[in-house]
Amino acid sequence: MTLQARQISKAYGAQRVLDRLDLSVDAGELVCLLGPNGAGKTTLIRTLSGLQKPDSGEVLWGSESEGIGALKLRRSIGLILHQPFLYEHLTGFENLRFYSRLYETGLGDADLRKMLGRVGLGSARPIPVRGYSRGMKQRLTIARALLCDPRILLFDEPYTGLDQQGCGMLNQLVLEESARNKLVLLTTHELSYIRQVATRFDVLHRGKIAASIPNAGISLDSLQEQYSAVIAAGKAARKEQA
């Protein structure tokens, strides 16, 4: 399976966020989308997930293009956005059980407890989520995104709120999912963590994928230098056009 975005454009009023953007990610790849604040990373994730439609262009999943919002495809996408979408008055387990029934996953209580253990919440006290720390909520959000055993993982800033141990857990999890031939596309500013697991880094700048940097044992310094060079070149080009 391959995810493709072809000539995707999206504007909010007079501000064009995505500008005839092309992107391709294959199953088994773990791609990190980089870009400065306001570059359109969240807009791209929302568009790829089917939460919003592009103004022009198309999104294709394998041979499927139309119907990105259909139930079959939605159930195949594990999505993390800035909002956790958790019910604060329910416990972590009750949240997973609610979403499991909503998605009709067929998972039993033992499966849900195993999922909690996978994200490091197996021994958490059964208290309402309102009493969770930010990191615990993020761990639960990750578990919720995996409930349907999705083929596609679209994670927007998934390291948010996680401590060092939590970041290690997330790295292990996405590596395991990628090894199962899942397609993983995520955004983050945490280069030190994602550098350890990503197969490549796509830089979103000025509405397009401005560069694609393969991760062939790249050092953190080299990654930061190449990323900064791409952004600087884009700014220079804009000045010349002004």
Cα separation, 89 vs 128, in Å, equals 5
Q: What is the pLDDT of residue 204?
A: 95
Contact 154, 80 (CB under 8 A): yes
Structure confidence at residue 233 as a pLDDT band (50, 70, 90): confident
Give the whole-angstrom CA distance, residue 212 versus residue 116.
35
Neighbouring residues of 3: CB distance < 8 A, sequence distance ≥ 6: 23, 24, 25, 26, 48, 59, 60, 61, 152, 183, 185
Domain boundaries, the chain: 2-76+150-241, 85-149
This model's pTM is above 0.85: yes
Q: Which amino acid is at 188?
A: T
pLDDT at position 68: 47
Superfamily in which the 2-76+150-241 domain is placed by CATH:
P-loop containing nucleotide triphosphate hydrolases (3.40.50.300)
Judged by DSSP in three states, 177 sits in helix
Give the residue-averaged pLDDT of 108-130: 95
Task: With both helix axes pointing from N to C terminus, report the angle between 92-103 and 109-118 in degrees, rounded to the nearest 10.
Answer: 120
Q: How far apart are CA 213 and CA 230, in angstroms?
A: 10
Q: Find all residues with CB under 8 Å of 97, minimum gap 6, and list them.
A: 109, 112
pLDDT at 190: 87
Token readout for 239 is: 């000045």
Per-residue pLDDT, averaged over 33-50, amounts to: 93
Going by C-alpha positions, the residue among 78, 108, 105 that lies closest to residue 178 is 78
- pLDDT digit string, tens, across residues 170-226: 999 999 999 999 999 999 988 999 999 999 999 999 999 999 999 988 999 999 999
